[in-house]
Structures are given as C-alpha cells and as structure tokens.
Structure 1
Amino acid sequence: MSVNEPPRADDSDDDGVLEAETCLSLGDLGPAASRHNWRRSAVAVDGETVFAGLAGGRVIATDLAEGKAEERWSVEGDDERYVVSMDVDDGILVTGERGPEGRICVLSTETGDLLWEYVTAEDVGSPADETFFAQPFVVDVQVAGETIVAAARRYERDGDVQEWSSVVYGFDREGDLEWTFDVRASPIAFDVDDERVAVAYNRCPDNHDHDHGLVVLDLETGEEVANWDPGTPGERRVGDVAFTEAGIAVASHGDKYGYHLDENCGEIWRVDLASERDLEGETVYAYPNHAVAADGTAVFVTGNTFAEETRDPDGRHPNEHTAVGVDPESGEVSWSHDVRGFARYVFASGEFVAIPSAQNFRERDAETHAVHLLEAQSGPLETHPIEGISSAGDLAGDRLAVIEEPVEYHDEGVTRGEYRLHTWRLEH
C-alpha cells in the first residue's frame, strides 16, 4: 500500500466542520487501564435526541436544543450488566446487553417504557462461570425497516479448548421472533441493507463445521444465500463487514487484507492493509478491525501490532492504527491517515466518516485520545482531542455523539478524563 499521507488536520474548532455542542457528565466510572477494556457503553443519535446506554445498565434520552442538554427520561439498570449495543428508528430504541441474561430490550423513544425484551442466554447458554468474558454478549442490534436484527454470542473455555455459541436473530417490531441463524462461531459485526444481512465471524474454531468468516442471510427469512472466507489457516477470519453501493466490503483477520466482493461473495479486488512484515527479525502484523462504506468509498481501519512469536513485539507495523480509503470500483487506495490509537468503533453518515481513537497501549501517549473526522472520498478533515478515551458513539445526520471514559496508564498513576457524553454539530 503506497499513498501520500495528507497533512494532519488542525486540532482547533475554529472554522472546522465539527462544532462542539454539549458535554454531559454520566456519573462515576472506574478508569480503563493501559490495555483496552471491554465494551461498557453504547450511543444512538436520532435527530435532536441522543440516547446512551451506560455501565450498570442505565439508559438515558437527552434532548439537545440551542447548545443545551435536557434529560427526557432515564431507565435504571443494575451492576450486573452493561448496555453495549444500540439502534434507534421510528419511535423505538433497541438495546443489547452484556450480562447474565444477554438481554435485547426494545424501549419507547418517547417515554423509555419497556415494550418487550428477549433473553439470549436461553439460546446461547448461561455463563459457564462468573467472569465477565463468560457473559452472553449482544454484539450488535440494527433496525432494518420492519425487522430488528441482533447477534449474540457466548464464550467458554475448557482447558485449551475455546468454544463459542452464537445466534443471529430476526424479530418483527412487536417482538415476534421471525428467524434465527445459529452456529458454533464468534460473530463480531454485521450490516444490513434492504434485503440482506451480512454477518462477520472473527473466530471459526477448527473443531466445528462452520468455516465461513462471512455469511449473507436473507433479511426476511434468515436463510443463508452466500458465504465467503479468506481461506487462511487458523480460526481468525473476518473483522468487519459493510454493504457498499456495488457489493460488500470485508476486513479480513485471516490475511490482514481488505476485500470487495460482489453480491454473491465473489472477489472483485483486495488490498493489503497490514499483512505480515519482517522487522529486524520479528514478523509483525495488525488486524483490520473495521470496514464502512460512505459516499462511494470503502474505508478500512487497522488496530494494534502483533507478532507471530509474542503479543508484545518490539517493533510496530507501519500500517497499525491506520485508516484507508479505497475506491470500490478500481480497488485503488485514495488516501490513508494515521489515527494513532486503537479505534473501537467507526461511524459513517453521508460523505463523512468519524473515527474515535483511544489509547495506544504500547506507546501509552495521551495525545492519541481524539476524534478524527474524515471525508470518505478525500480523507482527513480535522482532529479533536479528548482528555480520556472514546469508548462508544454514533454519527447520524448532522450530529456526532461520543462517550468518553476515564483512563489510567499503569506506569503513570494519573486518571485522565471523565465518564461523559460529548456531542458535536456538523457544519457543512
């Protein structure tokens, strides 16, 4: 991958596309550590209202007007669960939890009243132990017309054997279960269009029959209509997936390439994002963790450097923590941008892509804490520092909302940032 790096955007709000709007305290939360913590928050933007799901299960609705935030309602939770996924559409707010029951909840956007809920632990299984990673995990929820799609998984380890159980669900808006798709693999993300659901599986264990990193389902019936896999050895497969105007963009964990597939999962092109490199005797690589499509461009984002022999290499892959824009028709890289820290989420709306970057746990540099705004076709526009780390967010219409968490690096003993909700307006 060879492309000129555009100049770094100015960190100032003056004359920028993003105009800071509000900063709302979300209460106390213990700081994240030097390494990346698990998901424990979620955000959904709906016009002038921002919904947030918080650690401890609380859900809030905040109305924004004239630069002020006013709470519309709040629903209390408990300390056994985290709200980790969220979507909003036409009067309903859908939340997914990580906790003993792995609940999917549908609330009224107007009042916060619970309309219905579903316990995924009845399908993926109850926690095998009390550790956090054993809890059922609702990876994502999305409203697609009259269908609500959700994906849940549960992890279990028995000695050296790792097991995943998972289900992808299709509900109607009233809560009736229309279909399920269950395999012994680990879904990490999915995307929907008018007719299909594309599900990315980041781990497909060798001891089970499911060996497709990508599965495409019919949105109405849940039936499998196509599949794809990078064909690489080991259980690592696909990190993210996004429908484009002409096909499907896939971030491959197997070979660390970005792919563009046609509607039947035939390969159109691939681009090297962060495949294995030899650096002074170390073979290093970085996983492509995100794929989004915006304004006729596929955007991929890579994560941390790893090595074949150790999880803490001396060297750094030259393309770690890098966002790349690729033309879906030609497969040519249009631009790249160093986001400097780990991105847990990437958001796209219209021609814009937002990348909140958190800690680079190997460099432990607080200057990596920021939100990057890019134009999908041309690259970076501006970068806005955040004192803590970005843990969740959403970009919809002309508003960006991001949850900041406090962080404490183990070799500093200093807590940076707070648990709070930031919002910006897009002026364009």
Structure 2
Amino acid sequence: MSERDAWTNASPDERAAVSLGDVDPARSHHAGRRSAVAFTGDVVVAGSADGDVVAFDRETLAERWRTSPAAGDDPSVVSIAVYDGGLLAGERSARGGVRCLDPSNGSVRFRIETREDVGRPQRRTRFFLPFVVDVVGDGERAYVASRRYERDGDDRVFRSVVFALDADGARTWTYETDASVIALDARDDRLAVAHNRCPGADQHGLVVLDADAGRRRYDWDPGTDGQRRVGDVSLLADGAVVASHGDYCGYRLADGGRVRWRVDLATSTEVGDETLYAYPNHVHATEDGVVFVTGNTYPEDGRETDGLHPDEHTAFGVSPGGDRRWRADVGGFATEVATDGDRVVVPGAQHFRARDADGHGLRTFDVADGPLEDRATDGVVTAVALDGDAVAAVEEPVVYHDDGIERGASRLHRHSA
C-alpha cells in the first residue's frame, strides 16, 4: 500500500480530516500564503482563504466555533498566534487586519488595521495588499509584523511595521522600516526581525530589538550586492541563526552579530549551461543543532529555467558547530515550518517547475537525526502546526497546467507524530 493510500485509509485514531469549505485551487505558480493553523488548549484553529477563523475540537475535529471577517473585507488569514491576550489572526487584505479572538468562543476582543501604519494598497490585487506576515506570542506580550509593497516606476518600495501588544491589546512600542519584513522570532528579552528585501535606506537583513522597548540592540547583514538579504531567523540563548537570501548560505551569529560559522546551502551551481541557485527560506535552531529548508530554483540570468538546483526543496541538518550531518527532500515549496523543541514539520506545497504531485505532503524531522516520518496528501500543504505529538496541517486543492487535473481539497488534517 502506498503512503498516499495508507493516509487515505487510516483509521480515525491514526488520522482525522475535516473540510474547510470551497476555495479556488492553487495553480502551477504560487499565489502566496492564504491559510494558517495553530493549537491552543483543547482546540486547533484554522484560518482560511475566505477570511474565516474556525476552531475544531483537538481530538474529534468537531467544530467548536467560527468567526468571519468584517463586512466589506475580502481577506485571507495568513498568520495565527496565541498569547495571554487571546488568539491573534493576521490577514492579507486591504485593511491589513489583525483580529484578537477569545479562544473559548471566537468572540472578537479587538481589531487592528495595519494599513494605518503601512498605508493603503496601491492596487487592489493580492500582492499589493497589506500583509500581516508574522505574529508571535510570547506570554503576556505579542508581536505583529505587517508590510505593504508598491512600485514606483521600475523601483520596488516597501513599508513595514513591527509592534508589540500587551495582554489588554495596547500597543507598547512600534518599529518601522523601509525594508521588507519576512519573519520574527522572540526569545528572552529579544525580538529578531528578518528583512528579505532592502531596497531603501535600511540596509540590514537582520535587526535584533529589545523586546521590552523596541530599541535596536544590534543588526547584521550578509554584505551581498542586491536587495535580497535574509529569509528567516531563529534565536538561541547566545545569538541567532539566519538563512541568508544574499548568498544562499546559513549563518550562526553570536549575540551582537559576530559570525561564528557559515554553511553553504543552495549556492550558485552550474547545471548544464546555466548557473542556478535556491533561497534558504526557513531555519530552526536549538542547542542540539539547526535545520535549514531551501525553496525554488532560480537562474542567475532571468527568471525562467528548465534546470533544477540539486539542493532545492531540501532540509539540511547542521551540527551546533556548523557541520552538515544530514539532508532530505521536502517535496516542494514550503510556505512555513512548524517546530516544537527538536522536531520540525515541513509542509510541501507546489513544485512549480517539476509540478510533481507525488511530492505533496508533510515531512517530520529531528534536528539532530533527520527524517522521522512522511505523510502524503493529494493536494498541497500550505500551513502546519506542531504541539507535542500533535500535528495539524491545512491542505488546499491544486491544478497544474500540464494536465488540468484538480487534486486534493481544502481541509484540515490532524494526526499524531
């Protein structure tokens, strides 16, 4: 029996799924994030492409409550986090909305419109909408990152904001930049902010803020040409690990920004008559090691290629000292990763060059030892959460242009890892 058949035929104790309604299928190219999922207490909460936030019983997946976006909005829920103030759901929408919900019943405690910080969309198309790219819960405080993109002639322009909320929903500080914020990580008294593009005055790929006051403690940059800088960051007790978009490497930084080590990930490689690379988009670090995950292949000249970088769509395990110790395929583009201690779950979305549906699913890794488990799905997996031995994943339908077949459905999966 194949992994896909085993998943489909598994008993409820082994695997459960519930419909999230109808959504337009994904296509060969990525349309950006449009879903999110998180565990809180005895429920699993999913945010959908139509703006609904739905809570399901953690064990049975019976629906507990559902809340819809404000009238006149047409958002996708793209980020979710839990803190003492409630459940935060961040949107990609004209308002750049953030809803704080009561986890017990879904009632709205307060709403925030980040368009007041980053500005209204230049156009009402998806990639120009304000985008709440990350929300992070940290006990009594939560952190929100939102950005907006526009074009000024041939130039790309970004406006980004990061702010802290207390348990009552009051904003305690605000950080603004003309770089494109892509990810946050909080630990102890620090908040790390990753900038994946730096087209303006702020030329630092990583900024580490004082979590209490929002002041810059230090910044770091790979020092490469061009706008691309950092794809993700993971804080350690004595520094940080970053995935560099500038040179396609991973870096271990001491507190203050000094480089301890660098590891090649998907650096420029000759394939046929082309030079290809892939961005390292995700990183998770613990005292036992680091996991990096790379994304799509791109050529150094232009954007289209028939070639594939040998290290695209790959998870790399790296020792605390910076040595590679394992590598594994992740099946397709990962929109995010879920982590809990030394475990990492990677969802596989479209492989927009090879468009291989056999790669759809999610993979679980141990930071030190590598692959633990693969789970196949018919559609693409676009969001994932991990809590102890419980995994939740959002699947979306997909249609590749090669064959026009719709695979999968919009549904929430829950299983034990």
TM-score, with structure 2 as normaliser: 0.95
- Residue 133 of structure 2 corresponds to 139
Aligned-pair CA distance for 1:91: 6.6
Give the aligned partner of residue 6 of structure 1.
none
Partner residue, 1:3? none
Identity %: 47
**Residues 1:48 and 2:38 are matched in the alignment:** no
Aligned residue type for 2:91: E
Matching of residues 244-283 of structure 1 within 5 Å: 244-283=236-275
Shift of 1:89: 3.4
The aligned length equals 411
SS at match of 2:267: coil
Cα offset for 1:342?
A: 0.9
Per-residue Cα deviation, 1:244-266 (whole angstroms, up to 9, x for no partner): 34421100000000001011111
1:364 to 337, 355, 370: 355
Specify the alignment match of 2:74 in structure 1: 80
Which residues of 2 match residues 179-194 of structure 1 at below 5 A? Answer: 179-194=173-188
- 2:14 alignment partner, SS class: strand
* Higher RCO, Cα 8 Å, sep 6+: 1
Which runs of 5 or more structure 1 residues have no equivalent in the other structure? 1-8
1:90: how far off? 4.5
Q: Distance in 2 between matches of 1:121 and 1:277?
A: 41
Give, in whole Å, the separation in 1 of the partners of 2:380 and 2:61. 21
Equivalent position amino acid for 1:236 in 2: R
Choose the corresponding residue for 2:218, options 207, 221, 226: 226
- The residue aligned with 1:386 is 377
Q: CA deviation at 1:223?
A: 0.3
Preserved CA contact (<8 Å) 2:249 2:280: yes
Counterpart contact for 1:47–1:399, Cα < 8 Å:
no
Q: Work out whether residues 293 and 348 of structure 1, in 8 Å CA contact, stay in contact via their aligned partners in 2.
A: no
2:295 maps to 1:303: yes
Structure-2 residue corresponding to 1:199: 193
RMSD across aligned C-alpha pairs, in angstroms?
Answer: 1.9
Q: TM-score, normalised by structure 1?
A: 0.92
Q: Distance in 2 between matches of 1:167 and 1:412?
A: 42
CA distance in 2, matches of 1:123, 1:359: 32
Which amino acid in structure 2 is aligned with residue 196 of structure 1? Answer: R
- Which residue of 354, 368, 377 maps to 1:377? 368
Consecutive unaligned residues of structure 2, counting only runs of 5 or more, are: none
Which one of the candidate residues 409, 417, 424 is aligned to 2:415? 424
Whole-Å separation in 1 of the counterparts to 2:179 and 2:391 = 33
For residues 163 and 306 of structure 1, what CA distance do their matches in structure 2 show? Answer: 22
Q: Secondary structure at the match of 1:69?
A: coil
Aligned residue number for residue 91 of structure 2: 97
Kindly report which structure 2 residues correspond to 1:111-130, keeping only aligned pairs within 5 A, or say none.
111-130=105-124
The aligned residue for residue 340 of structure 1 is: 331
3-state DSSP of counterpart to 2:117: helix
What is the one-letter code of the residue matched to 1:259? Y
Match of 2:151 in 1: 157
Cα distance change on mapping 1:189 and 1:196 into 2, 3 Å: same
The answer on whether the counterparts of 1:199 and 1:241 sit within 8 Å (CA) in structure 2 is: yes
Match of 2:62 among 29, 52, 70: 70
Partner of 2:386: 395
Any idea what the Cα deviations from partners look like across 1:361-383, whole Å, max 9, x if unmatched? Answer: 11111001011011111000121
Which amino acid counterpart does residue 368 of structure 1 have in structure 2?
G
